[in-house]
Chain A
Amino acid sequence: MERTWRFSQQDIVEAVDAGAGRKVFDLQLDQLGPYSLDFSRSGRHMLLAGRKGHLALMDWQRTRLICEVQVKETTHDIKFLHNEQFFAAAQKKYVYIYDKRGLEVHCLKDTTEATRLEFLPHHFLLCSVGATGVLRYQDTSTGQVVATHRTRQGACDVLRQNPWNGVLCLGHGNGTVTMWTPNITTPVVRMLCHHGPVRSLAADTQGRHLATTGADGQASARQLLLLLRSSMLLLLAVKVWDLRMLRPLHAYFSPSPAECCDISQRGLLAVGYGRRVQVWRDALGSKAQSPYMTHTLAGGTLRDLRFCPYEDVLGIGHSGGVSTMLVPGAGEPNYDSFVANPFQTSKQRREAEVHSLLDKLQPAMIVLDPGEITRVVREPRDVQKEKQAAAQEANRARLEEQRQKNEEKKRMKGKNKPSRRQRKKQANIVEERKPGIKARMREQGVSAEFGHKQPRAEPGVPADVPRALHRFFKK
């Protein structure tokens, strides 16, 4: 077993081909940092955004700067749209869209004070969340604001998509991670992941694992004392979750709270804190014992980590600029020309744009299990009936409880409060009467008219009596 974490970047660069070694670089930009960054879907282009308003788009594999712009405003995050022709930047007040010449194309005035951006390429949705804690979905092909969800969890600075199903994962200050879809106004999943604020999270490409890092590594003096006494690692700040069962899998120790993390295409986990970057291999499906690689930045503290798709490269944005490191085995070696082509010609790009617009998915198709779409559920009839009965029973219990709550107080004061009106609406009359009406319809054979099977005659009724007269017999 080789101790791979001992190798420095220098060693690796010397050992690999010259072409691969050339991909390691250090951009010293210590005036306008710290920098956040983003890679295009083919991995060929890189976006940089300095906190003090320095935006740059570069063809990083050819070390060619495409555009550079100083927006003279605080810039929180930057994101590519569907191809490298456009990108969005979350600035002090609004989100702006720029084209590849660095010209401002749109100002999204609906989206205020966004700090994190995410783009769902298959749905053409630009998602943002920020200081107001409002999650907004905006369709970039039509310009429509598709959904606006109030998270009610305060300012939010952690936003990542699950690339497998397009569900957005938000990390909150109280240690919960919530998952959102555009068509449901409440989170579809709410998980308590950490005891301190969630600092970063990342999901893998197959939607199986979620890595979260939290600030609960900051121990109190009492905890430290305990730690020393028991010599146990209590400060487990990096956690890996099973996204399908929603269960914790493993936890890893980080000496100080990890600021950022990312998962590569081949399932490598990168975690960064302070000036240090750790890369873990086989850390998601099973518990790894030691990191795969470690790296210490020459200068500056970390701000952002991104694996480059289809390359063995990890991009690191920090306060001293932007640098890259080689992580052998991180990227997918075989690309698909029709999904993301690093050597795309302009003609191919135009074709791909049209095709992706034709195949654009509707926001309503974002669900936790993407295989559910178009699936026909065929349950046995008795299971269906059981479920139906359980649902009816639950509904009845809820209504009963609501009614009791409503009748608790008989005072006139506060009768017209919004909460009161809402409560009344919850216990609406139509819902209550539904079961009775349904039973009557069944009895009168209305359902038979619509092609349903007729129910069998009740045992108390003689066989030669027409159905219209059944109601005169005792049951």
Chain B
Amino acid sequence: MKVKAINRSEEGCTRERAQDVQKVHRNLDPALHPFEKAKEYTRALNAAKLDRVFAKPFLAALPHDDGITCLARNPRRLNSLLSGAADGDVRLWDIPARRCLRRMVGHTAAIKGISVTPDGEAAVSCSTDCTVKLWKVPFAPFDGGPLQEDSQPVLEFSGRHAFRSVDHHWGRAQFATAGAAVEVWDHERSEPVQTFSWGADTLTSVRFNPAEPDVFATAGSDRGVALYDLRSSTPIRKLVMQTRTNALAWNPMEAFNFTVRIFTFNGGHSRDVYHTKRMQRVFAVRFSGDGTYVFSGSDDMNVRVWKANASEQLGTLLPRERKQLQYNKALVERHKHLPEVARVVRNRHLPAPIYKAAKLRRVQQDSERRKTQHRIAHSAPGSVKVKPARRKKVVAELE
């Protein structure tokens, strides 16, 4: 008779010394792992909930003396941010140390736009006092301690009207300003090199295209979004929208009322919404250079620093932690269509006025849709044309 029975030695199955890691035996036989689907679902639900529990995006507030009107980041430095305020003050911030490096004094009215040159050495700011000023932007020194020095502008350009926006060219020593007209300036000239205008209304935003060096776009108070080419003397084309456009960006990342909303680049709905009790109207938003942080400047005299991913853990992760996070993310992704998980993932608390406004808006939209349905039902088939929601926003296209 040849027979064997299970006989495990304790020494073979446990660690030798207390300093060793515990011995782990795995057996992936499905018979030992019942309820696989139900467990995964439960884990996904827990992961979605934990994600919301750890969603604490607010990091820091950087104080100003008046409402923040514009923000700009240095394309060459991750840690520096420029903010312009309504009292004509421009400040340069060292974000990781949460301190102000420079106050740039010179403007006598509200700053309306700042832009940093592509080499990261200088910045241009425009103001309603009819001037554009060019400043030296120092790098953040590595030694700590408060250092707040006032600095003077290097160059000054004066125009005939108040400026509303400025954007520096991505490659050349040129910048464009928007106001009563669009003007393109050169660092070496005190007068604008080129001037464009289309209609009589004020232009509120101007942006150079990062890919096409000669193309730029403006948004105006006449509800228009216009496209220009530096090589021709007249604008190319113009879209008239249903509502006025506040700002425009080629790689969209802009913001809104009392909250900061983060949109995915191709989705119709915001991915996340940030708000605090004290944050007033938000005028300016910027992503950090690496896309991990969001900066917002608001009317309550603060520049706020947020995480771009609300529940992200900062700092170095252990491999085990990283794997766990990846696993949780994959679980939520896999089960996102299930109603309970979807509800947890989608749900955001909003300030009461915004929540109520959204509710009201939903009622209005429902009634509009109902009305359209009735109109379709009572008119000859095919006679009512329904425009897609995103097309509805564009009223006309002008050449």
A joins B in a complex: yes
Among A78-86, A97-105, A383-391, A463-471, the stretch in contact with B: A463-471
Contact A332 B32 (CB under 8 A): yes
- 15 extra interchain contacts, Cβ-Cβ under 8 A, other than A16-B5, A345-B22, A371-B37? A16-B3, A17-B7, A20-B7, A311-B6, A312-B5, A332-B32, A336-B25, A336-B28, A337-B22, A358-B46, A359-B39, A374-B38, A463-B381, A466-B378, A467-B381
A-binding residues in B (CB < 8 A):
1-10, 13-14, 22-43, 46, 335, 337-338, 369-370, 373-374, 376-381
Contact A163 B3 (CB under 8 A): no
Among A7-15, A132-140, A271-279, the stretch in contact with B: A7-15
- Closest A residue to B6 using CB positions: A312
CB distance from A39 to the nearest CB of B (A): 14
Contact B378 A337 (CB under 8 A): no
Contact B35 A466 (CB under 8 A): no
Q: Cα distance A373–B41 when bound, in Å?
A: 8
Contacts of B24 in A (CB 8 A): 337-338
CB distance from B206 to the nearest CB of A (A): 41
- Closest A residue to B341 using CB positions: A374
Contacts of B3 in A (CB 8 A): 12, 15-16, 328
Which of A165, A328, A359 is in CB contact (< 8 Å) with B43?
A359
Q: Cα distance A166–B39 when bound, in Å?
A: 13
- Closest A residue to B12 using CB positions: A343
Contacts of B27 in A (CB 8 A): 332, 334-336, 339
CB distance from B381 to the nearest CB of A (A): 6
Among A221-229, A246-254, A360-368, A413-421, the stretch in contact with B: A360-368
Contacts of A321 in B (CB 8 A): none
CB distance from B166 to the nearest CB of A (A): 46
Q: Cα distance A449–B39 when bound, in Å?
A: 38
CB of A299 within 8 Å of the partner chain:
no
Contacts of A16 in B (CB 8 A): 3-5, 7
* A side interface size, CB within 8 A: 60
Contacts of B25 in A (CB 8 A): 334-337, 341
Contacts of B5 in A (CB 8 A): 12, 16-17, 20, 23, 312, 326, 328
Q: A20-B6, A374-B37, A445-B377 in contact; A15/B32 too (CB < 8 A)?
A: no
Contact with B along A53-69 (1 / 0, CB 8 A): 00000000000000000
Contacts of A15 in B (CB 8 A): 1-3
Contacts of B374 in A (CB 8 A): 468
Q: Cα distance A467–B379 when bound, in Å?
A: 8
Contacts of B337 in A (CB 8 A): 376
Q: A7-B1, A445-B373, A467-B377 in contact; A338/B26 too (CB < 8 A)?
A: yes
CB distance from B5 to the nearest CB of A (A): 4
CB of A333 within 8 Å of the partner chain:
yes
Contact A205 B42 (CB under 8 A): no
Q: Cα distance A343–B9 when bound, in Å?
A: 10
CB distance from A44 to the nearest CB of B (A): 11
Contact B1 A464 (CB under 8 A): no
Contact B32 A328 (CB under 8 A): no
- Closest B residue to A266 using CB positions: B31
B-binding residues in A (CB < 8 A):
2, 7, 11-12, 15-17, 19-20, 23, 122, 163-166, 205-207, 265, 310-312, 326, 328, 331-339, 341-343, 345, 348, 358-362, 365, 370-376, 445, 448-449, 463-468
- Closest A residue to B382 using CB positions: A464
5 A-B contacts (beta carbon < 8 Å): A207-B34, A334-B29, A361-B38, A372-B37, A373-B38
Contact A310 B370 (CB under 8 A): no
Contact A467 B376 (CB under 8 A): yes
Contact A468 B31 (CB under 8 A): no
Contact B32 A359 (CB under 8 A): no
Q: Cα distance A204–B88 when bound, in Å?
A: 79
Q: Cα distance A413–B393 when bound, in Å?
A: 71
Q: Cα distance A337–B374 when bound, in Å?
A: 65
Contact A370 B38 (CB under 8 A): yes
Contact B35 A342 (CB under 8 A): no
Contact A19 B39 (CB under 8 A): no
Q: Cα distance A465–B377 when bound, in Å?
A: 9
- Closest B residue to A444 using CB positions: B377
- Closest A residue to B45 using CB positions: A362
Q: Cα distance A463–B381 when bound, in Å?
A: 7
Contacts of A17 in B (CB 8 A): 5, 7
Contacts of A334 in B (CB 8 A): 25, 27, 29
Q: Cα distance A319–B169 when bound, in Å?
A: 95
Contact B378 A370 (CB under 8 A): no
CB distance from B365 to the nearest CB of A (A): 12
Q: Cα distance A448–B31 when bound, in Å?
A: 48
Q: A373-B41, A464-B381 in contact; A206/B31 too (CB < 8 A)?
A: yes
Contacts of B42 in A (CB 8 A): 359-362, 365
Q: A332-B27, A334-B25, A445-B377 in contact; A375/B37 too (CB < 8 A)?
A: yes
Contact A449 B335 (CB under 8 A): no
Contact A370 B4 (CB under 8 A): no
Q: Cα distance A149–B357 when bound, in Å?
A: 48
CB distance from A200 to the nearest CB of B (A): 22
